[in-house]
């Protein structure tokens, strides 16, 4: 089988590697897609390493001790790869359903919208957020794929969502996926910033990945409000106004599901909600790249805005041209 191996900064190659070894407690999965996550972008650009943690595929072999799974099941979730330097960008992977997150996928949602790992992160983030009552006014700063996913889920929970992003195209996306209002940072601060006389928001969720987006989020959070940090913030340390956090008694919270149970629960709930229509985050503009265009997919994470929101590697296509999912 082939794997994408990144050995130098910004430079990846396709390499023939051994098939993973199964045991009686595992399943063998032929990957169809693996998502390209911005959390890995800085490492890819500056160091190289093991990439790929958003897999989706089909079970092709089942160990004799495994229950509840069959050959042909479409699955997604989070499982590791033992291949050095490969991460999840492999054509076949082994997972243990009793230990890893392996979720069977609904038939009524397209494959491209069922890469569950990032959806589990979004579900966890919203689950931790203070938005206790329908109609609660909340703010989302940063409206890429993750931010818009949070907007759509917050909307499904009855929140009134105000979106903030530096890009006009991202503000349009935010309105499409459920925000009632969308502003540039300057516009948002003029209307809702606590220094403008507005009390601010009970909960602000930050997905912007920059120091500026954190500063904006702090200024939009009300006294004794909650600031949920969803962005991964790779590429160096961030400087925040701790004095403002203290003066306003802001609760600053990381919303990433680091416990395996939270990731598993989030993935399962995400699949169920998408299937039932309770969470309407489908038909996302998604660019599909063949395996040999992994570096292009990474590079275009910085220029995709206004064109596509999510990038996937087609693990069944070793060569070809990128295309938008239908």
Give yes or no for a contact between 223 and 249, defined as CB atoms under 8 angstroms apart. yes
Task: State the pLDDT at residue 261.
Answer: 60
Query: Which residues are registered as beta bridge partners of 206?
Result: 141, 229
Helix (H) or strand (E) holding 181: strand 181-183
Question: CA–CA separation, 135 vs 159, rounded Å?
Answer: 5
DSSP H helices, the chain, are: 41-46, 116-128, 145-156, 168-176, 185-192, 211-220, 242-247, 260-276, 294-299
Phi and psi torsions of 77, nearest 5°: 150, -130
Residue 71 CB-density burial (10 A; 0-12 exposed, 13-18 middle, 19+ buried): exposed
Other beta carbons less than 10 A from residue 6's beta carbon: 25
* Cβ atoms of residues 134 and 158 within 8 Å: yes
Fold designation for 2-115+284-324: Quinone Oxidoreductase; Chain A, domain 1 (3.90.180)
CB 225 within 8 A of CB 251: yes
pLDDT of residue 28: 97
> 130-254 sits in which CATH class?
alpha beta
Report the pLDDT value the prediction gives residue 306, as an integer from 0 to 100: 82
Pairing relationship of beta strands 201-206 and 92-95 according to DSSP bridges = unpaired
Q: Give the pLDDT confidence score for residue 129 in this predicted structure.
A: 86
Rounded to the nearest angstrom, the gap between the alpha carbon of residue 190 and the centroid of all alpha carbons in its chain is 30
Q: For residues 90 and 6, what is the distance between their CA atoms, to the nearest angstrom?
A: 12
The residues with which 184 forms a beta bridge, in sequence order, are: none
**pTM of the model as a whole:** 0.93
Q: What's the confidence (pLDDT) of residue 132?
A: 60
- Give the chain's largest Cα–Cα span: 65
Please state the domain extents for the chain.
2-115+284-324, 130-254
In the chain (326 residues long), the average pLDDT of successive 10-residue segments reads 91 93 96 94 89 95 97 92 67 94 95 95 89 85 97 95 97 97 97 88 95 96 94 88 93 78 84 95 96 97 90 97 93
Q: What pLDDT shows up at residue 262?
A: 60
Q: In sequence order, what are the residues at sequence separation of 6 or more whose Cβ sits closer than 8 angstroms to the Cβ of residue 98?
A: 25
Q: What is the pLDDT of residue 321?
A: 96
Do the Cβ atoms of 113 and 83 come closer than 8 Å?
no
What per-residue confidence (pLDDT) applies to 301? 93
For residue 54, CA distances in Å to 118, 154, 212 come to 7, 23, 28
Q: Residue 183: helix, strand or coil by DSSP?
A: strand
């Amino acid at each position: 089988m082939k794997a994408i191996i990144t050995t130098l900064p910004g430079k990846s190659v396709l390499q023939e590697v051994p098939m993973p070894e199964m045991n009686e407690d595992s399943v063998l999965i032929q990957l169809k897609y693996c998502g390209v996550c911005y959390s890995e972008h800085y490492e890819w650009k500056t160091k190289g390493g093991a990439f790929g943690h958003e897999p989706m595929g089909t079970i092709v072999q089942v160990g004799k001790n495994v229950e509840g799974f069959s050959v042909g099941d479409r699955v997604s979730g989070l499982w590791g790869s033992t291949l050095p330097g490969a991460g999840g960008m492999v054509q076949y992977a082994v997972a243990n359903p009793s230990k890893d997150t392996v979720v069977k996928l609904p038939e009524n949602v397209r494959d491209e919208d069922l890469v569950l790992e990032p959806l589990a992160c979004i579900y966890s983030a919203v689950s931790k957020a203070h938005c206790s009552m329908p109609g609660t006014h909340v703010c989302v700063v940063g409206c890429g794929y993750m931010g818009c996913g949070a907007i759509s889920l917050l909307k499904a929970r009855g929140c009134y969502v105000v979106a903030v992003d530096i890009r006009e195209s991202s503000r349009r996306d935010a309105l499409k996926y459920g925000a009632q209002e969308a502003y540039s940072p300057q516009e948002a601060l003029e209307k809702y910033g606590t220094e403008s006389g507005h009390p601010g928001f009970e909960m602000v969720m930050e997905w912007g990945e920059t120091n500026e987006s954190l500063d904006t989020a702090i200024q939009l959070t009300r006294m004794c409000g909650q600031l949920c940090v969803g962005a991964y913030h790779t590429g160096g340390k961030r400087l925040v106004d701790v004095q403002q956090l203290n003066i306003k008694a802001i609760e600053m919270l990381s919303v990433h599901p680091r416990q395996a149970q939270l990731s598993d629960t989030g993935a399962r709930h995400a699949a169920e909600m998408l299937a039932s229509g309770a969470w309407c985050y489908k038909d996302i503009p998604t660019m599909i790249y063949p395996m040999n265009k992994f570096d292009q997919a990474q590079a275009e994470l910085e220029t995709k805005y206004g064109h596509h929101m999510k990038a996937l590697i087609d693990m069944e296509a070793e060569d070809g041209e990128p295309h938008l999912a239908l």
